[in-house]
Amino acid sequence: MYIAIEGIDTAGKSTQIELLSHDYPHALITKEPGGTAIGKEIREIVLSARTKSKRAEFLLFLADRAEHVKEVIEPNFEKMIISDRSAISGVAYALIQGEIDKKDLVTLNDFATNKTYPQKVFLLQISKEELEFRLSQKELDGIELRGSEYLLQIQDAIVKAAKLLNIELIIIDATQSIEAINKEILRTLNP
């Protein structure tokens, strides 16, 4: 099974993926962007916020996604694959930029992924207050420097992106305890 954990920065994706790696010790843990050698370079470019064109940023995400599916996902599809982010994030970021038509977003992602998407995606949803508190506790990257309003727009766009791509999205309140979130994910994976 191929699953992804989605959420804006500080929502707790890394923590939940770490817990899932103990629950599924043979799972392949990956991330997007940055799950391949080329993807790591692309991730650095995107997080540095050096691109002036939002279309260029989106195309970088697509390049990473295509490489990730070809190099990581397709060869391991018989395993449990747990990904930190997925195509949904790339589409969500593009949606809030508003420069690319929704139909084109779907077509370009279908092309980049060869229509290979996670079977289940968990969105760790966070409140504005909790987000602002968590951001105040860390050094911010290029995306986080855009502010809490921007990140909350992305969170809303993640829901819209999942619908556009026709991917099952399970929304989890990320202000719960770490253990409660983990139990909720496991209940969904093992009904």
Do 121 and 4 contact (CB within 8 A), yes or no? yes
Give the pair of three-digit tokens for residue 95. Answer: 């949606």
Do 6 and 121 contact (CB within 8 A), yes or no? yes
The reported pLDDT for the residue numbered 133 is 87
Distances (CA, A) of 100 to 58, 91, 103, 109, 184: 9, 10, 8, 12, 35
How far apart are alpha carbons 14 and 49 in whole angstroms?
Answer: 22
Question: How does pLDDT run across 8-44, given as a tens digit for each residue?
Answer: 988 999 999 999 999 999 999 999 988 999 989 988 8
Mode of pairing for the β-strands spanning 81-84 and 28-31: parallel
Question: How does pLDDT run across 108-167, given as a tens digit for each residue?
Answer: 999 999 999 999 999 999 999 988 888 787 777 667 667 788 889 999 999 999 999 999
- What is the residue type of 59? L
Q: What CATH number belongs to 2-189? A: 3.40.50.300
Do 94 and 105 contact (CB within 8 A), yes or no? yes
